[in-house]
Amino acid sequence: MKLPRWLRYWGDAVIVPIALMLLFLTFVWSTNAGGVAQVVAALFMFAVVGLWLGFRRLRVHASASRLAAIGDPAGLLALADEELGRRLRSTSPAGLQVYRAIAHNLAGRPAEARLALDASGIRPGDRGTASWHLLWASAEIDARTRLGEVAAARATFDRVVARYPRTVGAGGLDVIAAECEARVRLAEGDAAGARTLVAPYLKDIRLGPGARAQLFAIVAGCERALGDDAAAATAAAKARELAPQCVLLP
């Protein structure tokens, strides 16, 4: 059973931290602790509250990753919008806006994805972790190629994705890099090269159905460009089968 939105918000973001603080305060008061003990208890209290809030953030990112992996754009967009709306001030919205962009791309709305990417505040060359920059670049390249902005997609690939070494198994970064390059090559007319890039990952057990569906959609575009309509139809059918809630094909 899914809890109401208001209960989830007040429960994990407000009630639980307050309850933890009251628990520690009650413990200190009931034991008549001295000054040093009170300071130590206060430090532990803040540490526990910080851990709770930190794990809550990790839970949000884990949920977003799962929704993207299984190909649920509506759920991913709802999660990101809820997290953006529940914050009293705009703190670190970059990741949530990237999730919104990914959701819009999965739903076949590249223009809306571009707006979310602009709102994220991430820019090529900015300081940050490789994973966030690659996720931003992946969503950017996906949106740009769908909108026919091939030169902009190539520029993003060269400035962001090409900077990082493509080590197989490095947290899935190799898959993201291959997908980005394949989208750019296909948009530039190198369908054979694009197909070669994504072919090794079509049966990768690390990937969820949504991620594999995107690769099959790329293969469908490659086969169509190469004139093999039968292979294109097969790949397109596989993409729709893996991610029926997504709009990955023209």
**In 3-state terms, the chain is what percent helix, strand and coil (to 5)?**
75, 0, 25
Cβ atoms within 10 Å of 108's Cβ, excluding its own: 15
Supply the DSSP string of 52-79, one letter for each residue: HHHHHHHHHHHHHHHHHHHT-HHHHHHH
Domain boundaries, the chain: 1-70
pLDDT score at 59: 83
pLDDT score at 235: 97
pLDDT score at 11: 67
* Structural contact between residues 223 and 231, judged by C-beta atoms closer than 8 angstroms: yes
pLDDT score at 222: 97
Largest pairwise CA distance in the chain: 82
pLDDT-flagged residues of the chain (< 70): 1-13, 33, 87-92, 125-130, 165-171
Coil/strand/helix, residue 131: helix
66-118 tens-digit pLDDT: 999 999 999 999 999 988 877 655 455 788 999 999 999 999 999 999 999 99
Cβ atoms within 10 Å of 212's Cβ, excluding its own: 24
pLDDT score at 168: 47
- Measure the CA–CA gap between 186 and 20, rounded to whole angstroms: 54
